[in-house]
A = this chain, B = another copy of it.
Amino acid sequence: MRGGTVFGVGLGPGDPELMSVRADRLVRNARHVAFFRKAGRSGRARGIVDGMLRENAVEFAMEYPVTTEIPLSDPRYNQILSAFYSDCVAHLKALVAAGEDVVVLCEGDPFFYGSFMHLYTRLKDDVPVHVVPAITGMSAAWTATGAPVTWGDDILSVLMGTLPLAELTRGALDADALVVMKIGRNLPKIREALQAAGKMDRAWLVEYASMDGQTVMPLAEADDRVSPYFSIVIVHGQGRRP
User: A residues near B, CB below 8 A?
Assistant: 12-13, 15-22, 24, 72, 77-79, 81-82, 85, 109-114, 117-118, 120-121, 124, 131-136, 139-140, 142-143, 146-160, 162-163, 167, 170-171, 174-175, 210, 240-242
Task: List the B side residues contacting A132 at CB < 8 Å.
Answer: 18, 143
Partner of A149, one of B72, B112, B153, B242: B112
Task: List the B side residues contacting A171 at CB < 8 Å.
Answer: 155, 174
**A18–B19 Cα gap in the complex (Å)?**
9
Q: Are A118 and B241 CB-contacts (below 8 A) given A139-B136, A153-B160, A155-B158? A: yes
Q: Is there an interface contact between B242 and A78, defined as CB atoms closer than 8 Å?
A: yes
Task: List the B side residues contacting A19 at CB < 8 Å.
Answer: 20-21
Task: List the B side residues contacting A79 at CB < 8 Å.
Answer: 242
The 8 lowest CB-CB distance pairs between A and B, nearest first, are: A81-B242, A117-B148, A133-B139, A17-B22, A156-B158, A78-B242, A111-B148, A133-B143
**A157–B82 Cα gap in the complex (Å)?**
28
Q: Is there an interface contact between A156 and B157, defined as CB atoms closer than 8 Å?
A: yes
